[in-house]
Amino acid sequence: MSHLQISKDEREIMKTEKKPSIQDYTREELSQLIKPSFRAKQVYSWLYHKYVNSFDEMKNLPQALKDDLKEKYRIEPLKMIRKENSKDGSTKYLFELEDGNTVETVLLLMKKKQFNEDGSVKHQEKYTVCISCQVGCKVGCSFCLTAKSGFIANLTAGEIVEQIRFIKKDNNIDANRRLNIVYMGMGEPLDNLGAVSQSSRVFADLDGMAIAPHRQTISTSGLSTKIVKLGKMELGVNLAISLHAVDDELREQLMPINKAYNIQSIIDAVKAFPINDRKRVMFEYLVIKDVNDSMDAAKKLLALLNGIKSKVNLIYFNPYGGTEYKRPEEKDMKAFQEYLTKHGLHCTIRESKGLDISAACGQLRDNELEEK
Ligand code: SAH
Ligand code: SF4
């Protein structure tokens, strides 16, 4: 090893001596830490409206405060190591964290910008950003590529927040433009609830990005006790449940976590969850050919969701090298959806966006690791 390279031990030391990142804090917390407190609002504005990457650029702060901030905090740096554009307008990012681990974030273009006949803007682009909360995942679902690397690390709140800040800056997305966030990238959000809930508060802060809680969706594999805990936090976020199977036996095969938290426990937790009046709990159902795509499954799903203000999102399984699972037939997807809608359930079909780039969660990272 050359003397310029950082050894593993040195990296560990750097990690333990790392200053906290400024994006870990809500504006309210910062106003307790920074004196006089109104300066916290200015710091927030520099970070989340003007997207600066150093304290020196925060021009209206006195030099002494800038020096103090530099000494105590850092601005969480995410290094973009790969970016892929898809034909449908989605962009997939691979970020390197300071410890060398990598995570994915996807900017999804939900609606293109449209103009009126006179050339004025009818509506702006509509974006959803899919963010990661862990490197790898403990849950170990058999169909998921992220699971293959096992669990490596939890992201900090600052690392989660920076994914959105980076992407807004990189795409010149105006500070006050609305956008939606889904915690559907790598990792299980409820396994890192502290950092995830904190990031949600930072996103929602009216002096910062002001992304309302009802524009944020936390997706979980169904850790029932944590769903209850999340509900009690009263963040106001939407909930998505990755259900994928309607009986415990099959669900255990697909998602071993079902042994600890079975389907009924999830349904009970969902029923107790505080849902925004205008919203529904989303049930994600990943459809795998000949595994869970039968009409019988559709019937059981309908019965299971009886009495829950829900909507169902059918997702095409997106195959990758080394998996035995197959993408379902379009006709089976349609029949499944038709059955549910005919019986009054809201049900949409989701094509993994960005299919021509490395599509489903974990796939860009996997490509990168293979190339190394
Ligand atoms: N851990 C959380 C959130 C991240 S996974 C959860 O499981 O809900 C987000 C979604 O991606 C899940 O619904 C998961 O089922 C889906 N997914 C995983 N692998 C996939 C694949 N190969 N094709 C399509 N969707 C996949
Ligand atoms: Fe983890 Fe979600 Fe992948 Fe399951 S689907 S292994 S919970 S990231």
pLDDT band at 350 (very low <50, low <70, confident <90, very high): confident
Q: Nearest 5°: phi and psi at 80?
A: -80, 120
Q: Is the CB of 216 under 6 A from ligand 2?
A: no
Residue type, 36: P
Q: Is the CB of 141 under 6 A from ligand 2?
A: yes
DSSP-assigned beta bridge partners for residue 154: 134
Q: How far is the CA of 223 from the centre of ligand 1 (A)?
A: 15
* pLDDT tens by residue, 24-41: 999 999 999 998 989 999
Q: What lines the ligand 1 site, CB under 6 Å?
A: 143-144, 184, 188, 219-221, 242, 284, 286, 315, 317-318, 352, 360-361
Q: Is the CB of 136 under 6 A from ligand 2?
A: no
Beta-strand runs (E) in the chain: 79-85, 91-96, 102-111, 114-115, 121-123, 126-130, 134-136, 151-154, 180-183, 216-220, 238-242, 281-287, 310-316, 346-350
Is 130 noted as a catalytic residue in this protein? no
Which of 130, 137, 347, 361 does the annotation list as catalytic?
A: 361
Confidence (pLDDT) at 77: 87
Q: How far is the CA of 19 from the centre of ligand 2 (A)?
A: 30
Alpha-carbon separation of residue 11 from 22, 75, 124, 216, 365 (angstroms): 21, 18, 44, 34, 22
Confidence (pLDDT) at 18: 78
* pLDDT tens by residue, 155-188: 999 999 999 999 999 999 999 888 999 999 999 9
The pLDDT of residue 372 is above 80? no
Query: DSSP assignment of 191-247, as one string?
Result: GGHHHHHHHHHHHH-TTTT---GGGEEEEES--HHHHHHHHHHT---EEEEE---SS
- CA–CA dist 358, 215 (Å, integer): 25
Q: Please tell me the residue having the least CA distance from ligand 2 atom 3.
A: 144
- CATH code of domain 20-72: 1.10.150.530
Give every strand in the sheet of 126-130, ordered side by side: 79-85, 91-96, 102-111, 126-130, 180-183, 216-220, 238-242, 281-287, 310-316, 346-350
| Domains 20-72 and 79-371 are alike in CATH topology | no
144 and 129 Cβ atoms separated by less than 8 Å: no
- CA–CA dist 183, 157 (Å, integer): 13
Q: Kindly report the CA angle at 21 between 16 and 27, in degrees rounded to 5?
A: 145
Confidence (pLDDT) at 361: 53
pLDDT band at 81 (very low <50, low <70, confident <90, very high): very high
| pTM: predicted TM-score of the whole model, two decimal places | 0.91
Which of 104, 159, 162, 284 does the annotation list as catalytic?
A: 104
Q: Where are the domains of the chain?
A: 20-72, 79-371
Is 104 noted as a catalytic residue in this protein? yes
pLDDT band at 6 (very low <50, low <70, confident <90, very high): very low
Q: Kindly report the CA angle at 285 between 167 and 306, in degrees rounded to 5?
A: 120
- CATH code of domain 79-371: 3.20.20.70
DSSP-assigned beta bridge partners for residue 74: 21
Q: Please tell me the residue having the least CA distance from ligand 2 atom 8.
A: 187
Ligand nearest to the CA of 321: 1
